[in-house]
Amino acid sequence: MNTHNGTLSVRVARIEALTPEITRFTLVDPAGKHLPAFSGGSHVVVVLEDGDKTHRNAYSLMSSPYDSSAYQIAVRRVCDGRGGSRYLHDRVAEGDLLQILQPANLFPLAKHARQHVFIAGGVGITPVYSQLEELQLKQATFELHLAVRGPEHTALGLELQARYGERVQLYVQGVDARMDIRHILADRPLGSHVYVCGPDSMIDDTLDSARALGWTDSHIHYERFVEQGSSGQPFSVTLARQGVTIEVPAEQSLLEAAEQAGYKVPYLCRGGACGYCETEVLDIDGELDHRDDWLSEEDKLSKRKFMPCVSRANCSRLVVDL
Ligand code: FES
């Protein structure tokens, strides 16, 4: 396996425009070897050197977990984002080499579920691709409900309908009836698990509906589609272990600012979900702006913990244990 600084080097074998916003990249080992195995719901981080900036963007693997000859990711162009998705859309060509980190899974399937119900919106369909492949091969019972913003955004849904038939229900805005999440989740047999990935409103609606219908939290799985990093007011932070104070600009997260300054901060998802970057706050004069899904409300109120990949601060002084 070709590795460089802990990353894998992969070659872009194919680029396909799937919708006006989403492009799929097929990645292979440059020497034609097998890529590391992964499980349904996994993602990789793509590391892009862009002048004096480094983008590290996480993308779900859409290819089959049973095919190690190639990985596939789908990238939605985010026009007002940091530039990582624009870089992939505009500056990467077939044949180019990219650096990625080994796959990690923060959205795994429930092994003992009797029935798997997927709810997805837009590009939130991407982690579901590999999950359905895994379930199909295991001959498990599943169904997918996918909402898209219009007929021009149906390519991925139609591809999945061709593979899995009536188990995939598409809800095209302006064409079909709106997805009724409460109806989808009602009267499910014991042992059903629901997975949701899409806009915040869809995730919140699913969580509220499932809980109102008596689903236990252990049977509800979600992955928020978050923009990489975070934007807001600039702030200063002292990294106590390094003995330095760095500036976190408006368009960077603390994690990105620390990396750019040459300091290593542990991470996995870069989206406030996995807990890997959890950091102790040693001193603060002001307020923390928590934007993660990891810390409990109690932890957030304590002002003692902080997730540098997404959270920010409105303060005159912040010291963290990094
Ligand atoms: S890297 Fe996952 S929560 Fe920060």
**Whose structure tokens read 């009836």?**
177
Contacts of 262 (CB under 8 A, 6+ apart): none
Look at residue 229 in the predicted model and tell me its pLDDT. Answer: 57
What is residue 57's three-state secondary structure? strand
Instruction: Say yes or no: CB of residue 269 within 6 Å of ligand 1.
Output: yes
Look at residue 226 in the predicted model and tell me its pLDDT. Answer: 61
Q: Which of 254, 266, 115 is nearest to 187 (CA)?
A: 115
Rounded Cα–Cα distance for residues 84 and 86 (Å): 5
Rounded Cα–Cα distance for residues 243 and 62 (Å): 42
Look at residue 281 in the predicted model and tell me its pLDDT. Answer: 98
Bridge partners of 16, per DSSP, are 24
Q: 199 and 290, same structural domain?
A: no
Rounded Cα–Cα distance for residues 189 and 66 (Å): 29
How many structural domains compose the chain? 3
279 neighbors 303 (Cβ within 8 angstroms): no
Q: 120 and 64, same structural domain?
A: no
Q: Which of 161, 114, 155 is nearest to 135 (CA)?
A: 114
Q: Choose the final residue of a domain: 58, 73, 105.
A: 105
Considering only the C-alpha atoms of the chain, give the largest distance between any 2 of them, rounded to a whole number of Å. Answer: 59
Look at residue 3 in the predicted model and tell me its pLDDT. Answer: 47
Amino acid identity for residue 186 in this structure: A
Instruction: Tell me how crowded residue 131 is: count the other CB atoms within 10 A of its CB.
Output: 26
Position 220 in a domain:
yes
Q: How far is CA 147 from CA 121, 171, 260, in A?
A: 5, 5, 38
Q: 160 and 125, same structural domain?
A: yes
Position 94 in a domain:
yes
Low-confidence ranges of the chain (pLDDT < 50): 2-5
Instruction: Say yes or no: CB of residue 270 within 6 Å of ligand 1.
Output: yes
CA 77–ligand 1 middle distance (angstroms): 22
Which residue range(s) make up the domain with 11? 3-105
**Whose structure tokens read 């990105």?**
256
Instruction: Say yes or no: CB of residue 265 within 6 Å of ligand 1.
Output: no
Element (H, E) at 158: helix 155-164
Report the Cα 44 to chain-centroid distance in Å: 9
Provide the CATH number for the domain around residue 212.
3.40.50.80
Provide the CATH number for the domain around residue 91.
2.40.30.10
Position 219 in a domain:
yes
Instruction: Say yes or no: CB of residue 277 within 6 Å of ligand 1.
Output: yes
Look at residue 87 in the predicted model and tell me its pLDDT. Answer: 95
Position 186 in a domain:
yes
Bridge partners of 27, per DSSP, are 12, 71
Rounded Cα–Cα distance for residues 279 and 266 (Å): 10
Look at residue 133 in the predicted model and tell me its pLDDT. Answer: 96
Backbone φ, ψ for residue 131 (5° rounding): -65, -40
Position 230 in a domain:
no
Look at residue 299 in the predicted model and tell me its pLDDT. Answer: 96
Q: 95 and 9, same structural domain?
A: yes
Position 257 in a domain:
yes
Q: 209 and 288, same structural domain?
A: no
Q: 214 and 125, same structural domain?
A: yes
Q: 89 and 150, same structural domain?
A: no
CA 277–ligand 1 middle distance (angstroms): 5
Instruction: Say yes or no: CB of residue 295 within 6 Å of ligand 1.
Output: no
